[in-house]
Chain A
């Protein structure tokens, strides 16, 4: 049903049951917002989105007010602009003045609003709120002094991720965003997915940066700094430099990393290929013995922590295979280094990831061999962009280069790990080969490629019918886990990625990307799969070579020792 409304003297069409804000946005009229998040119910807390409606005494928040037939709206009348400015000035009145040093400098919605509303001086000055930085978590830093209490983080953590770590605590002028019993983040139920970081408009939540550690290592003449980057990084960095969203700049990244001074540049996709072989072998055995089914994927560390806290009953069902990042880390120090005659102690191993939880994963105690950690530092796609700027590298003018051998070689199956459904597709291609001895006639499994929050697919391998379930967005898993724990789910494989849409939408990706940008990244990954000659992990010659020289075969005792891990129940306040 269409409605007619008048905005700033012009007739526009609106849909019944939509909010004023959505009608305005669809018609190209911009109104600032702070507390609202696209796709979630409005909460009307900040009131920066107010507009004037003829006949109504007060200004109305456009994000939560429904349109009505014949409404006459003014979006930028003097009264409206004045109200918005006052709201913003109040928010700024107790805000720390350290923009220059802030993680979000030039990437901050509060700064943008101050520019948009032409705030040029501090007219209202409030008592600065004093708060302790919460540096306890390896993934997420909380800086409550910069919090404007918009509540976005609380809602994404609760409504989308289903973790509910954050909540408003205390009241009135003492209100803060806190955790249960005011515990530090590391001792809370937080799974370090970083989705709250993605929606925070200010620097109140940001990733724990490891850039300085990496710089120190690069400047240390006694260290060989080896770097790997995750499958989705090459299709996500482009936006940071004004290149079209989703463009694959693999070669440029290799060249930039080499210029920066990394000794060896490897592609985590090699590790993903290895993960495919190990997982496919593991799944094949479980199907044959009809034990420990359904098998859950293990590539997402935020999901692993979620299971350890919320549903330890399913831990025996999770694949024991390490994640691609940790597999790479292990192979670099335990195979590559000795083969090259390098002492593993001299290697500093860096991973560039679309993810905040990978920082947490790298420091898990299971992820060390004889007191040497598999991976020494994890930086996000955003931190990579900073690193490139810091070294003055012009991304637009450098010539693409190849990664280093042997751990730079990849199949496109491993590349698929960057998007929801991709791990399953990669694993099933190899599982087909393991179970039938034959390749799939058509490796592309289109059914696995729609980005639903939760999806069940039937796949045929030989004369066997297998069921896979895809889940992305942590909040979508709870009912499924209950059914699995009750033994009611007959599926064979369940792929879980904590971030909605998978790693392409990870918590370490560029700020301010639209849904369209994220889709472009996934599309780009599938395009790579179209043109790549090696489409299955078991045909990656360097992977085969590595097994011959080091681990014998997927699922061997040596593989189990190096590439598999264990999970433990965690006691946190849930």
Chain B
């Protein structure tokens, strides 16, 4: 993993701190998350303390610091979904998966991410699992979907 991050950083050979966000984005695209190692290497590369990199990265919703699970669950918290009950959906997911936003379950099966509008407003409240949309969710349906995945 180290060499992958290093070769990726070579593309940013003479850049300064203003390329931090693009660098982090590319690492996340590549590895799926920002590992501790990645944060340290980026810090060395840009001569920037890791606390500041972490601070900036957590300012944006898009970065995660744990690898995604086998099933990556994205919960919409956009306006439409919020109005139509995204909160109880999220609460149920947190309870069933025993993880919170940005976390991955210990067995590596599930990860959770809260999003702002995933572009399925007509289907609100909506979630997506590994890119597949599930709309007009009720508590019962959601429970079935997760239970089903847990069988695998």
The answer to whether A and B come from one shared complex is: yes
Main secondary structure of the interface of B (DSSP, over half): helix
Complex CA–CA separation, A167 to B48 (angstroms) = 12
Contact indicator per residue, chain A 176-206, by CB within 8 Å of chain B (1) or not (0):
0011111000001100000000000000000
Contact pick for A169, options B36, B40, B49, B58, CB 8 Å = B58
Q: How far is the CB of A282 from chain B (nearest CB, A)?
A: 33
Q: Does A534 contact B (CB under 8 A)?
A: no
Q: Contact check, A181 vs B39: say whether CB atoms are below 8 A apart.
A: yes
Contact residues in B for A158 (Cβ distance below 8 Å) = 49
Interface contact B59-A180, CB-CB below 8 Å:
no
B55 within 8 A of A: yes
B51 within 8 A of A: yes
What are 13 A-B pairs with beta-carbon distances under 8 A?
A: A164-B52, A167-B52, A169-B54, A169-B55, A170-B59, A171-B58, A178-B55, A180-B51, A181-B50, A181-B65, A573-B36, A573-B39, A573-B50
- Smallest distance from the beta carbon of B117 to chain A beta carbons, Å? 17
B59 touches A167 (CB 8 A): no
Question: Which chain B positions have C-beta within 8 A of A165?
Answer: 49, 51
Distance from B10 Cβ to chain A, minimum over Cβ atoms (Å): 22
Number of A-B residue pairs having CB atoms within 8 Å of each other in the complex? 51
Which residues in B have some Cβ–Cβ distance to A below 8 Å?
36, 39-40, 43, 49-55, 58-59, 65
Cα–Cα distance between A430 and B11 once the two chains are bound (Å): 56
Please name the residue on chain B nearest to A170 by beta carbon. Answer: B58
CB distance from B31 to the nearest CB of A (A): 15
Q: How far in angstroms is the closest Cβ of chain B from A485?
A: 15
A342 touches B (CB below 8 Å): no
A481 nearest CB across to chain B (Å): 14
* Nearest-neighbor residue (CB-CB) of A572 within chain B: B50
7 A-B pairs with the lowest CB-CB distances in the bound complex, closest first: A167-B55, A164-B49, A180-B50, A167-B51, A180-B51, A180-B54, A573-B50
Contact with B along A151-179 (1 / 0, CB 8 A): 00000001000001111111100000011
Are A574 and B49 interface neighbours, CB within 8 A? Answer: yes
Chain A residues near B59: list those with CB within 8 A.
Answer: 168, 170-171
A170: chain B residues within 8 A (beta carbon): 58-59
How distant is the Cα of A107 from the Cα of B143 in the complex, in angstroms?
53
Within the assembled complex, what's the spacing in Å between the Cα atoms of A167 and B51?
6
**B58 and A164 contacting across the interface, CB-CB below 8 Å:** no
Kindly report which residue of chain A lies nearest to residue B65, judged by CB atoms. Answer: A181
Chain B hits for A171, CB < 8 A: 58-59
Question: Complex formed: what's the CA distance from A171 to B59 in Å?
Answer: 5
A168 to B50, CA, bound (A): 12
